[in-house]
């Protein structure tokens, strides 16, 4: 059994100008996904969300063209906080567990 997880940035919303800075990232839209391969079976789960960022720090400001996805993911995770990031991971694992062992199933109609 192999479990992998990934975070990606779907979009960044910016303010054209703020505090003398240009293209200031205000909102990060993110996705988190997990995949588990168990023999011939593959299970996938995903989560989508967005997070708002506070006022920019002029001393740590990164010009928009120089932002890397890894850096934006770090901002998102730092803003969400460890507890929320952990909860997202648990949510992904729960989705996979539900696929492996569904709590509700659809049976064929008895009169079919």
HSE-CB at 91 with a 13 A cutoff on CA atoms is: 13
Q: Which H/E stretch holds residue 14? A: strand 2-18
pLDDT of 3 reads: 81
Give the percent of the chain with pLDDT over 70: 99
Tally of residues, the chain: 112
| Confidence at 19, pLDDT banded by 50, 70, 90 | very high
User: pLDDT per residue over 33-51, tens digit each?
Assistant: 999 998 899 999 999 999 9
Spell out a b/e string for 70-80, using b for 16 or more CB atoms within 10 Å of the CB, else e: eebbebbbeeb
């Amino acid at each position: 059994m192999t479990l992998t997880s990934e975070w990606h940035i779907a979009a960044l919303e910016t303010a054209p100008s703020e505090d003398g800075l240009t293209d200031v990232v205000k909102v990060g839209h993110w996705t988190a996904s997990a995949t588990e391969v168990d023999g011939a079976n593959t299970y996938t789960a995903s989560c989508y969300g967005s997070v708002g960022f506070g006022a920019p720090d002029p001393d740590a400001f990164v010009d928009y063209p120089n932002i890397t996805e890894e850096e934006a993911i770090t901002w998102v995770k730092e803003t969400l906080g460890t507890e929320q990031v952990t909860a997202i991971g648990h949510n992904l694992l729960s989705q996979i567990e539900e696929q492996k062992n569904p709590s509700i199933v659809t049976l064929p109609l008895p009169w079919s």
